[in-house]
Chain A
Amino acid sequence: EVQLVESGGGLVQPGGSLRLSCAVSGFGFSHNFMSWVRQAPGKGLEWVAKINPDGSGTYYVDSVKGRFTISRDNAKNSLSLQMDNLRAEDTALYYCATEIWFRFDFWGQGVLVTVSS
């Protein structure tokens, strides 16, 4: 059974930082792209970032470029998202998801990030 479990969310002030983690099991983690997708309260889905299997290639939505960094540890089947200089508009439920040819087959349960003073 494929499982993705996110952690690390919480309340942070504008300009602050958070690091999200996603533990993956039951899936060929090291052979696949991984992504973060977020959903602001009451809003739709927004793809945020993805990383290729060996970690050498990363891709971001324009609104987070230069502030967010996606990384992975294939030895630990773990995905991370370092979020710096957070803004109110980054408030959302963040999902990690497996990505195969631009589709997201498996999703975590999501972790909430709230940016507020």
Chain B
Amino acid sequence: QSALTQPPSASGSPGQSVTISCTGPSSDVDISDYVSWYQQYPGKAPKLIIYEVTKRPSGVPDRFSGSKSGNTASLTVSGLQADDEADYYCSSNTASGNVVFGGGTKLTVL
């Protein structure tokens, strides 16, 4: 069960926007309509910030948005703030009904 592909790092200055991609590697792990994104601070549990490609759980700022095109999903963080600096993971379901994560992207706010 191959992982989804994410860039290992991304960065932006405060106030800017940054987009993180997440690509399915094969037909067995297509990016579906059940893509989720998680934010993780060091030493903390992950937090769900986007689900079903574009939906935000209650309490997540609308600076976080998700989209999908073909076999690639994307997370955009607008109006970057210092506390957006964290690791971000995408996930999707597989053809067998399991879940697979991306390798994670470390977002640095310059």
Interface residues of A (CB under 8 A from B): 35, 37, 44-47, 50, 59, 61-62, 95, 99, 101-105, 107-110
Number of interface residues of B (CB under 8 A): 27
Q: Given the complex of chains A and B, what is the CA–CA distance between A61 and B3 in angstroms?
A: 12
**B89 engages A107 (CB within 8 Å):** no
Picked from A50, A102, A104, the residue with its CB within 8 Å of the CB of B46 is A104
Q: Given the complex of chains A and B, what is the CA–CA distance between A103 and B100 in angstroms?
A: 11
Interface residues of B (CB under 8 A from A): 1, 3, 32, 34, 36, 38, 40, 45-48, 51-52, 57, 89, 91-93, 96-104
**B34 engages A110 (CB within 8 Å):** no
Q: A102-B36, A102-B93, A105-B57 are in contact. Are A47 and B45 (CB under 8 A)?
A: no
Q: Which residues of the partner chain A approach B89 to less than 8 Å between Cβ atoms?
A: 44-45
